[in-house]
Structure 1
Amino acid sequence: MQHTTPTTITAQTKKGQPSTVASWAERVKITSSNTRFTLEPIPRQKQRSTLKIPTDIVMERIDQWQRCLVGFFPGFRMSYHTINTIANPVWKKEGLENVMTTANGFILFRFQHEEQLHSVLEQGPWMFGGKHLIL
């Protein structure tokens, strides 16, 4: 591996005069300790412990959760891009607002109104890309 030092780039102005442009390292250099961030360690939880989410945090966005369907593909993991590409054209007219995926394979479909969510449920069962979608 070769070690290189930051260099200064020289460019030419409109009049043909050389102009000095600072290196990338110089542009992002921290000049004040006030701009530094620190990470606070999160204490490790015991195995088999239960996560408790405070009620005020849950209630803060309750209206959005009431308009969401949670889905998954049994025995199969489909990419976000594929799910979004299939769901949007089909459910946009039903009020689909947003598609989100979780790290463990669940998909969240948020609709504009709760009634639209129920309409999608009633039209099922659904298959995306030949795979059964459980809602």
Structure 2
Amino acid sequence: MNIARHIALIDELCLRPFGAEHSPWEAAEGGPGYHVVVLERSHGDCATRAATVEQFEKYRDALYDPLAARWGDSPPWSGQTTLLRTEHEDIPAPWASLSARVRVAYVWEAVGTGRWVAVAVADRDEADDVKLIAMSTETAPP
């Protein structure tokens, strides 16, 4: 993992204009009011999935310190709680889709940018690769 490269991508997410429609770009996707970038990807191999999730959680946690130094400490955001809330509430995009992909995220208000940043491990879909992702959005977390 290259922390400096990942921080640079997160910085780009805070500056990149949002598109009017859903659109992919490089190793990322975007839509009205959000961007999501894949920082690391497992590339299959179900036999090592649990170990990969554990490793990517360590990567997520390693990104916490430099981002917390910049934007302050952040308690973990529960994707599970938000996912349960989607059954009874209208959870705004992109938080509803994020909660379907991740169990825990770190979330900060990126001071001076008007955006929120989340860093998480996307591992809920057993048929998909495990991914370390970062998201930026103009929508505050629910």
User: What is the TM-score with the length of structure 1 in the denominator?
Assistant: 0.24
Query: Which structure: greater strand fraction?
Result: 2
Query: Which structure: greater helix fraction?
Result: 2
Q: Which has the larger radius of gyration?
A: 1
User: What is the TM-score with the length of structure 2 in the denominator?
Assistant: 0.24
